[in-house]
Amino acid sequence: MFGRDLSGSHYNPDEKILTPATVARLKTKWIFEAGADVSSQPTVVDGVVYFGSWDGKEYAVDAGTGKKIWEYDCGVPARVGAAYDNGILYFGDLAGRLYAVEAKTGALKWKERIDPHPHAVVTSSPIVYNGRLYIGVSSHEEGANLRNRDYACCTFRGGVAAYDAGSGKQIWRFYTIEEEAKKLGEESNGRAIFGPSGGAVWSTVALDPATSRVYCTTGNQYSGEPTKYIDSIIALDMNTGKVIWSYQATPSDVFVIGCRNCGPDFDFGTTPLTFKGPNGKTLIGAGQKSGWFHAVDSQTGAPVWRTEIGPGSALGGMQFGNATDGERVYAALAHRSGGAVAMLDGATGKIIWKTPSPDKRPNYGPLTVTGRGDNRLVFAGSAAGFIRAYDGKDGRILWEFDTGGAIGGGPTVVDGVLYVGSGYTFLRVGKANNKLYAFSLDGQ
């Protein structure tokens, strides 16, 4: 599933074929062409690659040959990574629908809207465990006033939902905005103003079954007076969705696209990570669009350290890219003035190395870390279209390839093969493309 494991580490410690000594031999094994941008992180199970495209389709492709096995037409873009469990594939689309299909055939088992709001979207990859799906709820209402000047902003409430994996029935729902939006007043042109609203959960959640917790991160508010769960890291009870603790990184961040004198738009879009802190303490941490990485105590949510990786902005800081090997934290910087990949000490937050992108373009997408000890590699994509392998020891770039389109989804590494999608034009991030690449040693 997205992030590889329930905790969303994006770490494959058992990869032994691709190492700092061999990675320079990566060559194209095959290329699959979809109908539009490919910006979902591939999920690889039993020799099959599953991924979505902005052409509105979810694909299953043979991992050895790149030949299509099936496609499922959602009708609208599918940009999230899929989750596989017990022969069923789960994924979402930008119409706010969650799907369950047969992994072998693509036959639909069920589909459900994750929220009744007309602007709800799925940007969070579903995480499946013990017969339940857990997913963040987000929306594109932030830009509705630009698409419709008469639109009364805003009424959406973000959150996290749990579903029965067999039937698609919702089990519980947590709202980041506790009260439903109500009319707050009118603008000079008579358009109604509603609030409070917002708090989208763009990110994929992380699970800790040992403590029965779901960890999530949240985005900015859209309207109304500031509320307590925006721009936060939150621990929820896995069985009920009740809040255990919350840590708010930016107390006041009320923002919609095109507004004046509003908040900085410092969402969290990254999955909360679990790693070792000082004196063996377990920490939960996540990178924010502010450019800061925040680490808090897993038991209480109390802040332990925070580190500035680089400049933040509405499309800067850390968008979707962080990972951990359990002791170190890896972060991708997405600022338009130039991206970077960095490694931090998990106990202290100290930056051990930081490598700017040679193309001076942002690193938006998720990271993938592989190997152990001195054989660790970090794989990251660039908005300029490059996929790169970094030495986990010192951040040196050991291999790169120009895919021809911006990389918005994360790379996946399985048994010596690197899979990555190319093409990401949303919010004018980069160039279009329609390809999924597979790279292997010498292309074999």
Phi, psi at 393, each rounded to 5°: -80, -40
Average pLDDT for residues 161-171, to the nearest whole number? 98
| 3-state DSSP of 23-90 | HHHEEEEEEEECCCCCCCCCEEECCEEEEECCCCEEEEEECCCCCEEEEEECCCCCCCCCEEECCEEE
- Domain range enclosing 379: 1-41+279-444
What is the distance, to the nearest Å, from the Cα of residue 50 to the centroid of all Cα atoms in its chain?
16
CATH number, domain containing residue 367: 2.40.128.630
Same domain, 172 and 239: yes
Residues 352 and 228 reside in one and the same domain: no
| Structure tokens given for 183 | 């009319």
Domain check: are 339 and 262 in the same one?
no
The Cα–Cα gap between 440 and 444 comes to 6
Check: CB of residue 112 under 8 Å from CB of residue 98.
yes
Together in a domain, 228 and 128: yes
**Residue 179 and residue 236 in one domain:** yes
**Does residue 295 sit in the same domain as residue 426?**
yes
Question: Could you give the number of structural domains in the chain?
Answer: 2
Asked whether residue 188 carries a pLDDT value surpassing 90, the answer given is no
User: Stretch 226-238: mean pLDDT, rounded?
Assistant: 98
Residues 228, 121 share a domain: yes
Output the six-digit token pair for 321: 């890219």
**What band does 319 get if pLDDT is binned at 50, 70 and 90?**
very high
DSSP reduced 3-state for 427: helix
Q: Quickly state the pLDDT bin for 183 (edges 50, 70, 90).
A: very high
pLDDT of residue 158: 98
For residue 9, what pLDDT band results from cuts at 50, 70 and 90? very high
Question: Could you tell me if 108 and 175 lie in one domain?
Answer: yes
Better pLDDT: 189 or 95: 95
Q: Is 141 helix (H, G, I), strand (E, B) or coil?
A: helix
Q: Is residue 131 part of a domain?
A: yes
How many CB atoms are closer than 10 A to CB 337?
12
Domain shared by 235 and 374, yes or no: no
Last residue in a domain, options 250, 269, 288: 269
The reply to whether 304 and 260 lie within a common domain is no
Per-residue pLDDT at 119:
97
* Residue range 27-55: mean pLDDT, rounded: 98
Q: Which two tokens stand for residue 160?
A: 């996290």
CB atoms under 10 Å from CB of 121, counted, come to: 26
* 3 found inside a domain: yes
In degrees, to the nearest 5, what angle opens at C-alpha 1 toward C-alphas 343 and 329? 10
312 plus 354 within the same structural domain: yes
- The reply to whether 195 and 263 lie within a common domain is yes
Mean pLDDT in residue range 183-198 = 91
